[in-house]
């Protein structure tokens, strides 16, 4: 771990705990900062706060006091989920107190090279593909961020023989200052998270922060068929590697019906790819480009694309039965996540949805309902989903359980249809976790087979 001298004996506030805030507080403490942590969860229920108090940090729990900033903090490290409209954050901005997210701290302490991946869709799949491709390469990959261990925890023990592959959200990227990944991947940018960002431009700027410190020695890999990315990256100093899924190109990564190309030269046959879908081809091209830049062995890259069937519970391809395709997206616990899943399909979809009632809107799905043949819903949200289906003119079928809904989806389906579990709801009404819900879907499919 690198020493960050400018943090020594500085007063630092960590706002919001959970895993990332706790890891950041521990590292800051080790670096010699005077750390105060503040979390809305009461102390008696807050195991993270109890742990940090034992380490000698100042702990304030249960609320965010109005006078919290009067301690004279020189830095705030905030949980990415806390919006900039939060009263403490808004006041800190007025006082010109720097605000980081935990990934900025991770970058500053890391001895390892960093690859950062962001985008509206495809981040997790691209990250997972790339880690596997790099597994036989010159540097051992470590996965961090949204799908792995907290970035500061990984960075703390990483060496120059490692490369940290980290998935980053717009929330995390807004809190970066010096972050400069040697390879940045922008899978795509669509309208998203406008409940957090004040407008689409702020969201885009947050995503593009991944390259704001790039120089000519760095690489940016991006969707060359998205005009917004082509335009916004035009003046970035990085080496640019676009990817294209629609035709062969002489620059970047591209694909035609038969081959995957790098700078116009064939790399592997398209029919070697196991993971279906045009949206997944984007992820494969992006990860392949990064792996080639990192000098990963071609045989390992090919092995990855030949064997990778998707990230479990994240639009995971489960299999085919009687010319119907089955996908498990149990991780989709809100409408925004289900919207992302629906975006990837052009075939008719029978959507299995429902779960814990948290009064979330399903309106995010409206633009993508044209590809939904029916919504078969279950659990606590089944009544609201039926109302939603009726209002949108989509056939809806309510059931109590996933098993019943699954059977109805089979009955409704025709050859060529997609049967997609993407619940747009949490799992806790009937399951301990979304993983258990997804595993049941997989088991139901296996019974068909």
Q: Which of 73, 97, 121 is the last residue of a domain?
A: 97
Was 288 annotated as part of a binding site? no
- Please state, in angstroms and rounded to a whole number, the distance separating the CA atoms of residues 119 and 277: 18
Tens of pLDDT along 121-141?
789 889 999 999 999 999 999
Judge if 118 and 264 occupy the same domain: yes
Judge if 70 and 85 occupy the same domain: yes
pLDDT of residue 192: 64
Judge if 70 and 129 occupy the same domain: no
Residue keyed to tokens 């985008």: 119
Q: In what order do the strands lie in the sheet with 113-118?
A: 140-145, 162-167, 113-118, 183-186, 219-223, 239-244, 253-255, 259-262, 265-269
Q: Do residues 150 and 19 touch, judged by C-beta distance below 8 A?
A: yes
* CA proximity to 162, closest of 137, 181, 186, 145: 137
Was 79 annotated as part of a binding site? no
Residue 1 in any domain: the answer is no
Considering only residues 164 and 433, tell me which one the structure prediction assigns the higher pLDDT. Answer: 164
DSSP 123-172: HHHHHHHHHHHHTTSSSEEEEEETTSB-HHHHHHH--TTEEEEEE--HHH
Was 125 annotated as part of a binding site? yes
321: β partners = 324
Tell me whether strands 162-167 and 239-244 are parallel, antiparallel or unpaired. Answer: unpaired
Judge if 143 and 54 occupy the same domain: no
Q: In the structure encoding, which two tokens stand for residue 360, read together?
A: 């979330």
Judge if 432 and 341 occupy the same domain: yes
| 259 burial level (CB within 10 Å; 0-12, 13-18, 19+) | middle
pLDDT mean across residues, the chain: 94
Which H or E run includes 222? strand 219-223
Judge if 432 and 366 occupy the same domain: yes
CATH number at residue 196: 3.40.1190.10
Length of the chain measured in residues: 449
**Domain encompassing residue 36:** 8-97
- Neighbouring CB atoms inside 10 A of 19's CB total 14
Residue keyed to tokens 């991946």: 117
- Please state, in angstroms and rounded to a whole number, the distance separating the CA atoms of residues 449 and 393: 33
Q: Which of 287, 307, 327 is the last residue of a domain?
A: 307
Domain count along the chain = 3
- Please state, in angstroms and rounded to a whole number, the distance separating the CA atoms of residues 106 and 157: 11
Q: Which of 248, 273, 307 is the last residue of a domain?
A: 307
Instruction: Give phi and psi for 241, each to the nearest 5.
Output: -125, 95
- Please state, in angstroms and rounded to a whole number, the distance separating the CA atoms of residues 24 and 152: 6
Judge if 219 and 301 occupy the same domain: yes
pLDDT of residue 88: 94
Tens of pLDDT along 329-374?
998 888 878 987 898 788 999 999 999 998 889 999 999 999 999 9
* CA proximity to 289, closest of 254, 332, 341: 254
pLDDT of residue 111: 98
What's the rounded mean pLDDT across residues 324-328?
95
372: β partners = 349
Was 124 annotated as part of a binding site? yes
- Please state, in angstroms and rounded to a whole number, the distance separating the CA atoms of residues 285 and 255: 8
Tens of pLDDT along 276-309?
667 789 999 999 999 999 999 999 999 999 999 7
- Please state, in angstroms and rounded to a whole number, the distance separating the CA atoms of residues 307 and 211: 31
Q: In the structure encoding, which two tokens stand for residue 257, read together?
A: 């019906």
pLDDT of residue 277: 67
CATH number at residue 359: 3.90.190.20
Q: What angle do CA 316, 220, 232 make, to 5 degrees?
A: 100
Tens of pLDDT along 207-237?
999 999 999 999 999 999 999 999 999 999 9
Judge if 198 and 332 occupy the same domain: no
- Please state, in angstroms and rounded to a whole number, the distance separating the CA atoms of residues 194 and 201: 10
Grade residue 274 by pLDDT with cuts at 50, 70 and 90.
confident
Was 120 annotated as part of a binding site? yes
Q: Do residues 130 and 141 touch, judged by C-beta distance below 8 A?
A: yes
DSSP 2-28: ---GGGTT-EEEEE--HHHHHHHHHHH
Tell me whether strands 75-78 and 113-118 are parallel, antiparallel or unpaired. Answer: unpaired
CATH number at residue 38: 3.40.50.720
**Does residue 441 carry a pLDDT above 80?**
yes
Was 346 annotated as part of a binding site? no
What's the rounded mean pLDDT across residues 424-443?
94
Judge if 296 and 388 occupy the same domain: no
Judge if 277 and 197 occupy the same domain: yes
Which H or E run includes 254? strand 253-255
Q: Is 286 helix (H, G, I), strand (E, B) or coil?
A: helix
Grade residue 199 by pLDDT with cuts at 50, 70 and 90.
confident
Judge if 226 and 251 occupy the same domain: yes
Judge if 296 and 224 occupy the same domain: yes
Q: Do residues 366 and 424 touch, judged by C-beta distance below 8 A?
A: no
Q: Do residues 24 and 102 touch, judged by C-beta distance below 8 A?
A: yes
- Please state, in angstroms and rounded to a whole number, the distance separating the CA atoms of residues 438 and 427: 10
Was 126 annotated as part of a binding site? no
pTM above 0.85, yes or no: no
- Please state, in angstroms and rounded to a whole number, the distance separating the CA atoms of residues 239 and 262: 14
Q: Do residues 92 and 160 touch, judged by C-beta distance below 8 A?
A: no
């Amino acid at each position: 771990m690198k020493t960050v001298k400018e943090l020594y004996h500085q007063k630092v506030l960590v706002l919001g705990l959970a895993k990332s805030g706790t890891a950041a507080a521990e590292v800051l403490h080790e670096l010699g900062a005077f750390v105060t942590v503040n979390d809305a969860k009461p102390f008696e229920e807050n195991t993270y706060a109890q742990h940090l108090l034992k380490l000698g940090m100042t702990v304030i729990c249960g609320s965010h006091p109005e006078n919290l900033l009067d301690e004279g903090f020189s830095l705030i490290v905030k949980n990415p989920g806390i919006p900039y409209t939060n009263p403490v954050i808004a006041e800190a901005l007025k006082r010109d107190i720097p605000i980081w997210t935990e990934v900025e701290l991770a970058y500053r302490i890391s001895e390892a090279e960093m690859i950062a991946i962001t985008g509206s869709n495809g981040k997790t799949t691209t990250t997972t593909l790339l880690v596997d491709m790099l597994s036989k390469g010159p540097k051992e990959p470590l996965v961090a961020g949204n799908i792995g261990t907290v970035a500061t925890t990984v960075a703390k023990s990483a060496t120059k023989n490692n490369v940290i592959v980290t998935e980053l959200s717009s929330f995390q990227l807004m809190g970066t200052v010096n972050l400069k990944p040697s390879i940045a991947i922008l899978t795509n940018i669509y309208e998203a998270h406008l409940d957090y960002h004040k407008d689409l431009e702020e969201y885009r700027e947050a995503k593009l922060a991944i390259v704001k410190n790039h120089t000519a020695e760095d690489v940016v890999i991006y969707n060359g068929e998205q005009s917004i990315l082509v335009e916004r990256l035009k003046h970035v100093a990085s080496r640019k590697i676009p990817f294209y899924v629609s035709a062969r190109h002489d620059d970047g990564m591209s694909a035609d019906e038969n081959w995957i190309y790098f700078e116009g030269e064939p790399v592997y046959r398209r029919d070697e790819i196991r993971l279906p879908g045009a949206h997944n081809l984007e992820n494969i091209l992006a990860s392949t480009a990064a792996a080639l830049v990192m000098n990963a062995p071609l045989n390992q890259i090919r092995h990855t694309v030949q064997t990778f069937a998707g990230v479990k519970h994240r639009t995971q391809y489960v299999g085919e039965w009687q010319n119907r395709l089955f996908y498990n997206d149990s991780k989709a616990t809100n409408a925004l996540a289900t919207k992302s899943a629906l975006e990837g399909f052009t075939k008719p979809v029978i959507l299995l949805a429902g779960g814990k009632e948290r009064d979330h809107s399903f309106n995010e799905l409206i633009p993508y309902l044209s590809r939904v043949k029916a919504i078969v819903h279950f659990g606590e949200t089944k009544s609201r989903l039926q109302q939603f289906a009726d209002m949108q003119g989509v056939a809806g079928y309510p059931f109590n359980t996933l098993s019943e809904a699954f059977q109805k989806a089979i009955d409704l389906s025709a050859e060529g249809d997609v049967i997609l579990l993407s619940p747009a709801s949490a799992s806790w009404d009937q399951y301990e976790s979304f993983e258990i819900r997804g595993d049941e879907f997989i088991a139901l499919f296996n019974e068909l087979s």
